Structure 1
């Protein structure tokens, strides 16, 4: 019986030894795949070099598969015939990792998607058999490791309000806030250059509203009034005394109550927003006081038209009747964001109807001209294209932003004021009377598209990010030629009395001369109005204030 049973026992023991050793090798391969993935994820820009360096430093019996062939740890490409049968192969796949529990584990890694923030490493190596090799070949085993690096940046888009004079800004911003403002240009520049930390401000809002055990996102989603926001800025903004005085002056001029708004429409804190307010954010998000005030006022104003009658100190221009409509920020693309590559921020869509009175020249018998303009500006967009964390340190990070400036349609003509605030459809522009008197009548209609949807790339160096540098993308010369382009496309209908000594050609020349003389003033007026609304034709201002480079981790 012993003689019969002993061979079976030896066979079972041999199989157990082989299986146990294969299991140990499989674990070692998995460790190699996981650690190689972490090493590569920490330096995605030099993926092959990082993998080869890891293989060499850990003396692994592996070669890297590349488009040129199999590479040794020293970077030498070797032919397949010169490789030992026990040597393993490593394959790298770069892509993006989507941390979404609703997706199956095998769908969260998206190979080949740029910009890459994750890598999948596959290790294949023949197993070792001691006894079973007498009647079978060693199996080819494999292990897969996936690692991702979470890289986020705080970035925003807006307009340079500091370049404006105070009069027009007082009128428009005051209307949106429901008050009368009397600030000078130097005051607005002080507000524009003062920054707030959004995390600090949000925690302060929670304290003012007696909210506890809440997350940053829950606070931003809470409806507040503009006076409550300004009170939080005064208490928790950490602003210099001169800026605090200006904010306090605005706060005191506002009515006690007002329309409510949710800052979540303007600000997205990304993965940091899920944190409770008693947890450190580990990131600073900066926003200008004036930017936040202007965008909050526009959001609180809602679909209401901002109507302003004013006289500006611009050569040749008389009174200006203004109707301004600002659309709500697009859902999912706020003005300020903590985001990962691929996410974007956008300005709001803006519509402006102007009725400008222009002093007539002697060539036009001194008759005043009424010039109705309609401007519709699409949103500008800034998309986070990539973050390079050199050495894995956020202080050495470089950020690239793909920016598309806002394009516009500008027309000479009349529009229905009620249609301005309906952003679901475009208002119809009709022919308008430019000149109407007993001597002559001129009607006109013109339209021109301004700007380009071409993507412009902005690069922010560590120095730019440290000081919060604002970078501008613009299509040069757009505003300078805007009114000239309109006049060149003007379809004018001239009606003269029967006894008039003038001809159509004389009137056309006089009209062109009169409007041409005030072209710079009209362009300057359009630039000022749109900047108050947070947009510029063919331009976009972008800045990056912070970068977070988390250590790479294994993911499923």
Structure 2
């Protein structure tokens, strides 16, 4: 056939087009196969990288070995290459996600794993001589960091008589514990979630999360008996003392939901822990019992008649009012959230003491000292958690704001002491009034400067349950001695042959004599209730660094 004839021929065109189209279709099919294969292998490799990162963060010191074993266990060939980078991860919303992991930063708490391998191509080998495509996937895992901390725990020793009167007032019954009983309670710690488990059993709750247990209304005796159940078998004397306290609290009233006192954070939705004590949140039994009694029945006023039981004072009467924590803030929190704030309760303390002055005035009358102490809430919040590879490198930093308030010498209406919505205005008081002799006095010391201060707890502090104190800058003024030293006196002493100067000197001497025992009394009472003017006491109950989560 001539060329001209061939060009003009019309037959067989479809076959040619079909042949050419088939080549294209086969090419596209091969390309689709390659793309699908690479995609599936990439997905599988990403899953392997995720698992490798989670394995590596369990023991970062052995990250390379753990990641390699995980990759091999997922049936990747020996050509897989693994790169490990240790660093820190900050779950801070203000930081862009890609910048939250800081490679090679000190105090690492995260591991970045990069896995690189190759996958075979089918059609692509016509264009790539090796016939394989390199794929790389990365994953970052960080340790889950949680800290438990509380505020208002400083008790080191107790005056048994004063403590019994305070607890009798809080329980509404008679409490008669010995000093040895109190010491056993002070030295006993309980595991917090074990207490909630015991509380659930006492309340006959068949099932439910920790949050559901704490959100149920509970009577004070039930909560205290649950505490005693946890102490059973480990602290026999402390258990017996707690049982006595629970029996005395029969008329203390309903505590209400304990979730206003304890914020379990991420543990709240759990109904058990993997093993007993796994949460590692140790709490002082005495602190927890006192906190429970404080919220039983809401705002309350307690009257203490100490008589001549305070050395150095002729007689002492005390009125104590305890308010609620502002904004329903908890007393103890488990969190990784810097916005969770715990607070102490507000407190008012009015003391009416009498002391016998020296000199001629002492034969005529005692000096009366009406003193009002008002304390706002101290506050604490989480600043940071650092989890090192060595447990001794753990560190928790808290921001703490001490309690502020005032000390006043003057008379008040004691019936309004527990009305925290109304300000009290002490008036000039008669310190001495006998015949023509009249001595009046007034004084006031204000404490301010409630700025946040950082407090760091290392691993030894946390394991040892160390309590740290934070003070306002003017905390030296937060004493009865400081108040009485600034008291203004006005004296009228006509008709008995006593000079105004002699009366003033005698009264000043009485104030000096009363200062030390009154400071001791105030400190003991405020210690028992977990707050002291111008100060704050904080403790880190535990820190969790072992959990792992993918973060990138």
Please report the TM-score for the alignment, with normalisation by the length of structure 2.
Answer: 0.75
What is the CA–CA distance in structure 1 between the aligned matches of 2:373 and 2:330, rounded to whole Å? 23
The answer to whether the Cα contact below 8 Å between 2:374 and 2:407 also exists between their aligned partners in 1 is yes
Distance 1:60 1:372, change over 3 A: farther
Q: Distance in 2 between matches of 1:132 and 1:430?
A: 100
The equivalent position to 1:161 in structure 2, one of 143, 150, 155, is 155
Aligned to 1:378: 376
Following superposition, the deviation at residue 61 of structure 1 comes to: 8.7
Aligned to 1:448: 446
Given the alignment, which residue of 338, 355, 380 partners 1:358?
A: 355
- 1:364 and 1:451 map into 2 onto residues whose CA distance is 41
Match of 1:412 in 2: 409
Residues 1:43 and 1:206: Cα distance change in structure 2 (over 3 Å): closer
The counterpart of 1:12, out of the listed 28, 38, 48, is 28
Taking the TM superposition and a 5 Å limit, the aligned residue runs for 1:314-393 are 314-331=310-327, 333-340=329-336, 342=338, 343-362=340-359, 364=361, 366=363, 367-391=365-389
**TM-score, normalised on structure 1?**
0.75
| Change in 2 beyond 3 A, CA 1:29/1:240 | closer
Say which SS state the counterpart of residue 151 (structure 1) adopts: strand
**Closer, same or farther in 2 for the Cα pair 1:539/1:92, shift >3 Å?**
closer
Which residue among 463, 468, 474 is the counterpart of 1:472?
468
Ranges in structure 1 where 5+ consecutive residues have no aligned partner: 64-72, 74-89, 99-105, 135-140
Q: Distance in 1 between matches of 2:415 and 2:202?
A: 39
| Deviates further, 172-181 or 252-261 | 252-261
Q: What are the Cα deviations for residues 31-56 of structure 1, in whole angstroms up to 9, with x where unaligned? A: 69757975897799x9xx989x989x
Does residue 215 (structure 1) correspond to residue 231 (structure 2)? The answer is no
C-alpha separation between the residues in 2 aligned to 1:272 and 1:108? Answer: 26
Query: Counterpart in 2 of 1:101?
Result: none
Partner of 2:550: 554
| d(CA) in 1 for partners of 2:170, 2:200 | 25
Cross-structure match for 1:103: none
Q: Are 2:303 and 1:287 equivalent residues in the alignment?
A: no
CA distance in 1, matches of 2:326, 2:56: 37
Correspondence 1:125-140 to 2 at 5 A: none
Distance across 2 between alignment mates of 1:291 and 1:319: 29
Q: Do 1:201 and 1:233's aligned partners in 2 also have CA atoms closer than 8 Å? A: yes
Q: What is the distance in 2 between the residues matched to 1:524 and 1:257? A: 28
Distance 1:319 1:94, change over 3 A: same
Is the partner of 2:432 in helix, strand or coil? strand
**Deviation (angstroms), 1:345:** 3.3
- Note if contact 1:451-1:475 (Cα within 8 Å) is conserved in structure 2: no
Shift in Å, 1:198: 2.8
Q: Which segments of 5 or more consecutive residues in structure 2 lack a partner in the other structure?
A: 1-15, 72-78, 129-134
| Residue 309 (structure 1) aligns with | 305
- The answer to whether residue 237 in structure 2 is matched with residue 242 in structure 1 is yes
Residues of 2 paired with 1:407 and 1:425: CA distance? 17
Structure 2 vs 1, CA of residues 311 and 257 (structure 1 numbering), >3 Å: closer, same or farther? closer
**How many residues in Structure 1 have an aligned counterpart in Structure 2?**
511
Partner of 1:181: 175
Aligned-partner SS, 1:176: helix
Q: Is the 8 A contact 2:88 2:108 kept in 1?
A: no
Matches within 5 A, 1:483-522: 483-497=480-494, 502-503=499-500, 507-522=503-518
Kept after mapping to 2: 8 A contact 1:225/1:261: yes
Contact 2:253–2:297 (CA<8 Å) still a contact in 1? no
For the residue of structure 2 that corresponds to 1:433, the secondary structure is strand
